[in-house]
Amino acid sequence: MAKVAFLNRNGYTVVVTPHYQEQWQDARFGFNGNETMAQTGADFADVAVNFDYYFDSARLAATTCGTEYSDYGAIVYYRAQYNTRRNRWELELISVTPNNSLQTRGRNANGHNHQNTKSIPLP
């Protein structure tokens, strides 16, 4: 099982959850729906280049956000929050899913509720 990873950025910490890491390895992305993110040509750097934009957008939205990467057939979910225990701002990378639905009503099969997810377009 993957372990949480912490990346220090410009005044905040990126929290790469184990769930996000596992979803990245799942073979269900791309135009044919059976490729991993790496097989679609995506690289973690493709997402990392937008961390500052994600953080600012999610902090203003004050809710879970999702950004579609249509080239890879995926949506990246994230949120910004202040961690009082660690006394720092964090950008939490929650999940990456196929881009067939940004919002789901109620809880989906994995127990996730994306009903209030705000769509944030790439800059």
pLDDT at 28: 82
Q: How far is CA 23 from the centre of its chain?
A: 10
| Nearest partner of 13 among 103, 109, 78, 100, judged by Cα | 78
pLDDT at 114: 59
Please determine, for residue 115, whether its predicted confidence score (pLDDT) is greater than 70.
no
Least confident of 38-47, 57-66, 87-96, 107-116: 107-116
Average pLDDT over residues 97-114: 59
Cβ of 59: how many Cβ atoms within 10 Å?
Answer: 16
Q: β-strand 88-98 against 13-16: which pairing, if any?
A: parallel
pLDDT tens digits for 37-61? 888 888 888 889 999 999 999 999 9
pLDDT at 95: 86
C-alpha to C-alpha distance for 114 and 37, rounded to whole angstroms: 21
Cβ of 14: how many Cβ atoms within 10 Å?
Answer: 19
C-alpha to C-alpha distance for 89 and 49, rounded to whole angstroms: 18
